[in-house]
Structure 1
Amino acid sequence: MNIFRKSLFLLFFLAAYVLSASVDAPDTFDPLTPEQRAALAAQEKMKSILEIYQKVKIPKRIFWFTFIGIWVTFCIVTTFLYLKKSANTQEFKFKSKTMTLVVAGTGLVFVVHAMATEALVPYYPCFLRVWIGYIALLLFSVSLIVRAINYIAQVRMIRFKGEISNLLTQVDSAPNESEKSGLHKTYMDKGVIKRFFRLIVNSQYSEDIDDKQAELQFRLTVNNRVLDLLRSRNYAILCGIVLVISVSISAYFTTYENYHIIPVSFSCKSGITTPVLPLYIILCVVVVLMLPLIFLCFGFTDAFGMQIELLVTMIMVLILFTAMILYNELAPPTALMYATGYVFIMPVFFMQQFFLIAYPLYKIYKIGGHSLSGGSADRSGVAVSTRKEQFEGLLAYPAGFTRLSQAALETFCPENIEFLKDYQLLKFKVCSLVVSDTNNSNVPEDEGQGSMAKTQISDSIPSLKHETEDDENMRHSSLLMGTVDSTGTSEVDMDQLIGGELVPPLPITIPEAMYKMGLMLDLHLINDTEGKKERTTPKMTLIPNKLKDDFWKFYVKFIQEEALLAVNVPVKVSAPIEAAIKNEKYTLGMYDEALDEVLNSLYTNTYPIMLKTL
Structure 2
Amino acid sequence: MPPTWRLAIYISLAVFTFFYLTLTVTFFYIRRHKIDDFKYRPLRLNLLSAFATIMLCVMYCLRTAFYPNDYPCLLIHWPVHIGYCLWCSAIACRALSFVWTARFNLAKLQMNTVYRNNAYEGTVATLRDGKKRAIGGSKMYRLDVSDKEEEPLILKRVRKWRHAATDKWLAERIIYPVVAFSIAMALIVQAFSPELGFKAVHTVCPTTTISSVPITTVIVTFLLIICPFLCYLLHDIRDAFGLKRELYIAMVCGAAACVGYFVLEKVATAVREYFGSFMFSWIFFMLWHTISITTPLVRSFKKKETVELKPDASSKYRNFVAVLEDPDLFPLYKECVAACFCTELIVFLEEYQVLKSLVVQACNSTHQPTPLSPVAIKEKKSLSFADIPRRAEPAHNLVQTPCTVSITDTVPDLSKIPISQELYEEYMRFYYMFFDQDSELAINIHGPTLAEAKAIVGAGRFEITMFEKSRHEVFELLYWNTYDAFLRMFGDEITE
TM-score calculated relative to the size of structure 2:
0.73
| Structure 1 CA distance for aligned equivalents of residues 117 and 160 of structure 2 | 30
Q: Post-superposition shift, 1:577?
A: 7.0
1:398 is aligned to 322
| Residue 220 (1) aligns with residue 155 (2) | yes
The structure showing larger relative contact order (alpha-carbon pairs under 8 Å, at least 6 residues apart) is 2
Q: Is the 8 A contact 1:425 1:497 kept in 2?
A: no
| Residue 97 (1) aligns with residue 43 (2) | yes
| Structure 2 CA distance for aligned equivalents of residues 121 and 159 of structure 1 | 52
1:483 alignment partner, one of 373, 379, 390: 390
Distance 1:484 1:120, change over 3 A: farther
| Structure 1 CA distance for aligned equivalents of residues 449 and 190 of structure 2 | 57
Q: Is the 8 A contact 2:254 2:285 kept in 1?
A: no
| Structure 1 CA distance for aligned equivalents of residues 408 and 286 of structure 2 | 52
2:422 alignment partner, one of 546, 551, 565: 546
1:59 is aligned to 5
Matches within 5 A, 1:450-465: none
Q: Is the 8 A contact 1:398 1:498 kept in 2?
A: no
| Residue 418 (1) aligns with residue 354 (2) | no
| Structure 2 CA distance for aligned equivalents of residues 428 and 396 of structure 1 | 23
1:498 is aligned to 403
Q: Secondary structure at the match of 2:203?
A: coil
Q: Post-superposition shift, 1:76?
A: 4.3
Q: Secondary structure at the match of 2:200?
A: coil
| Structure 2 CA distance for aligned equivalents of residues 131 and 140 of structure 1 | 14
Q: CA RMSD in A?
A: 4.3
| Residue 269 (1) aligns with residue 211 (2) | no
2:242 is aligned to 305
| Structure 1 CA distance for aligned equivalents of residues 207 and 442 of structure 2 | 54
| Residue 315 (1) aligns with residue 252 (2) | yes
| Structure 2 CA distance for aligned equivalents of residues 566 and 104 of structure 1 | 32
Deviations 1:437-468 (A, max 9, x none): 5x766xxxxxxxxxxxxxxxxxxxxxxxx999
1:606 is aligned to 482
Q: Secondary structure at the match of 1:498?
A: coil
Q: Is the 8 A contact 2:72 2:202 kept in 1?
A: yes
| Residue 281 (1) aligns with residue 217 (2) | yes
1:41 is aligned to none
Amino acid at match of 1:498: C
Percentage identity across paired residues of the two chains: 17
Distance 1:262 1:576, change over 3 A: farther
Higher helix proportion: 1
Deviations 1:33-87 (A, max 9, x none): xxxxxxxxxxxxxxxxxxxx75xx2332233233334444443454455555552
Consecutive unaligned residues in structure 2, runs of 5 or more? 119-144, 376-382, 492-496
1:294 alignment partner, one of 231, 249, 264: 231
| Structure 1 CA distance for aligned equivalents of residues 345 and 322 of structure 2 | 16
Amino acid at match of 2:337: A
Q: Is the 8 A contact 2:35 2:296 kept in 1?
A: no
1:207 is aligned to none
| Residue 125 (1) aligns with residue 72 (2) | yes
Q: Which has the larger radius of gyration?
A: 1
Q: Secondary structure at the match of 1:102?
A: helix
Distance 1:482 1:333, change over 3 A: closer
1:14 is aligned to none
Amino acid at match of 1:426: L
Deviations 1:221-269 (A, max 9, x none): 3223434213122233243332222223333444332112443211221
Q: Post-superposition shift, 1:147?
A: 0.9
| Structure 2 CA distance for aligned equivalents of residues 348 and 211 of structure 1 | 53
Deviations 1:512-533 (A, max 9, x none): x87xx4422x23xx4xxxxxxx
Q: Is the 8 A contact 2:97 2:166 kept in 1?
A: no
1:68 alignment partner, one of 11, 14, 19: 14
Q: Post-superposition shift, 1:156?
A: 1.8
| Structure 2 CA distance for aligned equivalents of residues 86 and 128 of structure 1 | 33
Q: Secondary structure at the match of 1:371?
A: coil
Q: Which moves more between the two structures, 222-231 or 210-219?
A: 210-219
Distance 1:490 1:214, change over 3 A: farther
Distance 1:566 1:121, change over 3 A: same
Distance 1:73 1:564, change over 3 A: closer
| Residue 260 (1) aligns with residue 155 (2) | no
Matches within 5 A, 1:562-577: 565-568=441-444
Matches within 5 A, 1:316-355: 316-325=253-262, 328=265, 330-331=266-267, 336-355=272-291
| Residue 359 (1) aligns with residue 287 (2) | no
Q: Is the 8 A contact 2:73 2:205 kept in 1?
A: yes
Q: Which moves more between the two structures, 341-350 or 92-101?
A: 341-350
Q: Is the 8 A contact 1:168 1:480 kept in 2?
A: no
Deviations 1:514-571 (A, max 9, x none): 7xx4422x23xx4xxxxxxxxxxxxxxxx22121342244346445678664545799
Q: Is the 8 A contact 1:391 1:603 kept in 2?
A: no
1:245 is aligned to 181
Q: Is the 8 A contact 2:354 2:394 kept in 1?
A: no
1:162 is aligned to 109
Matches within 5 A, 1:224-239: 224-237=159-172, 238-239=174-175
| Structure 1 CA distance for aligned equivalents of residues 98 and 218 of structure 2 | 23
2:141 is aligned to none
1:519 alignment partner, one of 380, 399, 414: 414
Q: Post-superposition shift, 1:335?
A: 5.6
1:193 is aligned to none
Q: Secondary structure at the match of 2:304?
A: helix
Q: Which moves more between the two structures, 146-155 or 421-430?
A: 421-430
1:435 is aligned to 363
Matches within 5 A, 1:168-247: 168=114, 171=116, 214=149, 217-237=152-172, 238-247=174-183
| Structure 2 CA distance for aligned equivalents of residues 144 and 549 of structure 1 | 46
TM-score calculated relative to the size of structure 1:
0.61
| Structure 1 CA distance for aligned equivalents of residues 79 and 164 of structure 2 | 28
| Structure 1 CA distance for aligned equivalents of residues 28 and 315 of structure 2 | 26
Q: Which moves more between the two structures, 107-116 or 316-325?
A: 316-325
| Structure 1 CA distance for aligned equivalents of residues 308 and 488 of structure 2 | 17
Q: Post-superposition shift, 1:595?
A: 4.8
Q: Is the 8 A contact 2:361 2:398 kept in 1?
A: no
Distance 1:314 1:149, change over 3 A: same
Deviations 1:412-447 (A, max 9, x none): 1122112023224424532x245325x766xxxxxx
Distance 1:485 1:62, change over 3 A: farther
| Structure 2 CA distance for aligned equivalents of residues 388 and 360 of structure 1 | 32
Amino acid at match of 2:292: L
Q: Secondary structure at the match of 1:497?
A: coil
1:135 is aligned to 82
Q: Is the 8 A contact 1:479 1:556 kept in 2?
A: no
Q: Secondary structure at the match of 1:168?
A: coil
